[in-house]
Amino acid sequence: MADARGATRILRVRTRIVVVLATVGLSGLMLTTGCSYRESICADGEYPVIAVGPGGGRDCLPDGEEPTAPYVRFPPDKVPRHVDDEWDVYWRTHGIDENGAVIET
């Protein structure tokens, strides 16, 4: 009987150790990757485009495919790459008019 209790106690201790180690490992993984993940505006093999006009919507097109009306390419130096990056935020309050000029919306 004493041997059974001792074996059960050892099993509980080992189980707790495994749970603690797994929790610590998962926490470490979340700390190292959680802050570094950035959601892309478009999938791999695509690029973002914007619709002409105030409040223009956005879309993604396959690389190598030219945009058709109402969409145009973003200015090369103002292309949003990730959600909430500088240019993603910028284009929430700006658009492109029919002459290709940047406008505030």
Tokens 């949003």, located at residue: 80
Return the bridge partners of 71, or none.
51
In this predicted structure, the answer to whether residue 45 has a pLDDT above a threshold of 60 is: yes
Please state, in angstroms and rounded to a whole number, the distance separating the CA atoms of residues 105 and 99.
15
Is residue 60 within 8 Å of residue 49, measured between CB atoms? yes
Q: Give pLDDT, residue 67.
A: 97
Q: Write the pLDDT tens digit of every residue in 60-74.
A: 999 999 999 999 999
Inform me whether the pLDDT recorded for 19 exceeds 70.
Answer: no
Query: Tell me, what's the pLDDT at 63?
Result: 98
Regarding predicted confidence, which is higher, 27 or 77?
77
